[in-house]
Amino acid sequence: MSLKVADFFAGGGGLSLGFQQAGFNMVCAVENWQPALAVYRANFLEHPAISIDLSNEFEALRLLDEFKPDVVVGGPPCQDFSSAGKRDEAGGRASLTINYANVISNYRPIFFVMENVARAANSKAYRVALDIFKRANYGLTIRLLDAAHCGAPQTRKRLFVIGQLGGRDGFLDNSLASGLSDQPMTLRQYFKNCLPFDHYYRHPRSYARRAVFSIDEPSPTIRGVNRPIPKGYLGHAGDPVPIGPNMRSLTTQERALIQTFPLDFQLPGSKSDVEQVIGNAVPVKLAEYVARRLISYIQALDNQGELLMPCQLFESKSKTATKYFASIP
Ligand SMILES: C[S@@+](CC[C@H](N)C(=O)[O-])C[C@H]1O[C@@H](n2cnc3c(N)ncnc32)[C@H](O)[C@@H]1O
């Protein structure tokens, strides 16, 4: 069975590609930033990438009614989640998380996936979203996953909320936990002997942190900006080797490969836009890890004849209601 999937806030398509590689049938993607749409459209020719502002819940629902996906996946943007969770009341981008929850609870796909940065869990918008999902009768699996334990050579922790309509809480917990690798994947393990260097420069957020990394460890999180080594970089006590004449920062293409995009993935656009699209993406292998676990769960339900489509769930609900009304004297 091949379930139909829509990807909201699709960016350049990291989440889409992972779901597609796991065997889901992508039917549409939605995004409103043109540079990200250009990357998405260059790589996914079989389904449309549509430009819609997803704060418009009515438009989002209209689109879902048109494409009728069984599963909706999405990573509402994370810029406005402060760790103290203060800024999300200000109507910033974190409210897109609530828009997403409202759309899911109105459309009611049999499964949904919501991906966020780890600190989203501390925000009010996130808690409101969980409450919306629960009131819409979703069983929820909530898990923080590190890409480095899911087949990607990068430390990148992301929070996944996976919902099953009419399911039980924690339905995917065991499955998600059981496939993780014990050790984080290093760049050398992923690229074998193809990398032309042993160490590279990654510009730190602050000079209190090291900037040199070895290929015998996972890469730090790939961010949306990529800087060359500044002239006069003084080094850091944590750098495993000093900056030498052959040391350099990663290229755009290398960063895309560390995000586990395939070698033939097209990256049209300006360098700064493409770097941002790459940095925003869910690593393809992380998305694929989640998607494969979900697909196995769905197949097991289907084999047991227990995969209820939404109409069946509404039917069983209305039967209960009929019984209830029939019992009133
Ligand atoms: C974290 S990125 C998603 C990355 C994507 N899931 C991937 O794996 O490549 C969030 C995306 O949401 C998009 N976005 C932000 N606000 C939006 C809005 N109001 N409507 C639609 N898309 C929006 C951003 O342009 C960005 O590409």
User: Which residues of the chain fall below pLDDT 50?
Assistant: 82-86, 88-90, 314-325, 328-329
pLDDT of res. 148: 98
Specify the pairing of strand 25-31 against strand 4-8: parallel
Query: How confident is the model at residue 8, as a pLDDT?
Result: 98
Write down the pLDDT at residue 308.
66
Question: How many whole angstroms from 76 Cα to the centroid of ligand 1?
Answer: 6
Q: Measure the CA–CA gap between 157 and 145, rounded to whole angstroms.
A: 5
Predicted pLDDT at 324? 42
Residue with CA at minimum distance from ligand 1 atom 7: 281
pLDDT at residue 288, as a whole number: 98
pLDDT score at 325: 44
**pLDDT score for 312:** 53
- The pLDDT of residue 79: 59
Confidence (pLDDT) at 78: 67
Measured distance CA(103)–CA(64) in Å, rounded: 9
Ligand 1 atom at minimal distance to the Cα of residue 55? 19
Q: Find the 162 Cα to ligand 1 centroid distance in Å.
A: 18
**Cα 231 to Cα 215: distance, rounded to the nearest angstrom:** 23
Determine the pLDDT at residue 84: 43
The predicted structure's pLDDT at residue 254: 97
Choose one of 5, 9, 93 to mutate for the ligand 1 pocket test, by most ligand atoms within 8 angstroms of C-beta: 9
pLDDT at position 311: 53
pLDDT score of 81 = 58
Looking up tokens 């991906």, which residue turns up? Answer: 115
Predicted TM-score of the model (pTM): 0.92
Q: Which residues line ligand 1 at a C-beta cut-off of 6 Å?
A: 9-15, 31-33, 36, 53-55, 75, 77, 96, 280-282
The catalytic residues are: 78
Written as six digits, the tokens of 277 are: 């699209």
pLDDT tens figures, 285-300: 999 999 999 999 999 9
Extended strands (E) in the chain: 4-8, 25-31, 49-51, 71-74, 111-117, 138-146, 157-165, 199-201, 212-214
Q: What is the C-alpha R_g of the chain?
A: 21
Q: List domains and CATH numbers for the chain.
A: 4-182+281-325 (3.40.50.150)
- Mean pLDDT value across the chain: 91
Evaluate whether 112 touches 72 at the Cβ level (below 8 Å).
yes
125/120 Cα distance (integer angstroms)? 8
* Tokens standing for residue 48: 């449309």
Identify the burial level of 155 via C-beta atoms within 10 angstroms of its C-beta, where 0-12 means exposed, 13-18 middle and 19 or more buried.
Answer: middle
- pLDDT by residue (tens digit) across 122-168? 999 999 999 999 999 999 999 999 999 999 999 999 999 999 999 99
Give the pair of three-digit tokens for residue 274. 């493409």
Neighbour tally for 241: CB within 10 Å = 11
Half-sphere exposure of 217 (CA within 13 A, CB side): 12
Q: Which atom of ligand 1 is nearest to the CA of 33?
A: 25
Nearest partner of 273 among 16, 10, 32, 39, judged by Cα: 39
Query: Which of 31, 43, 81 should be mutated for ligand 1, with most atoms under 8 A from CB?
Result: 31
Q: CA 318, CA 97: separation in Å to the nearest integer?
A: 30
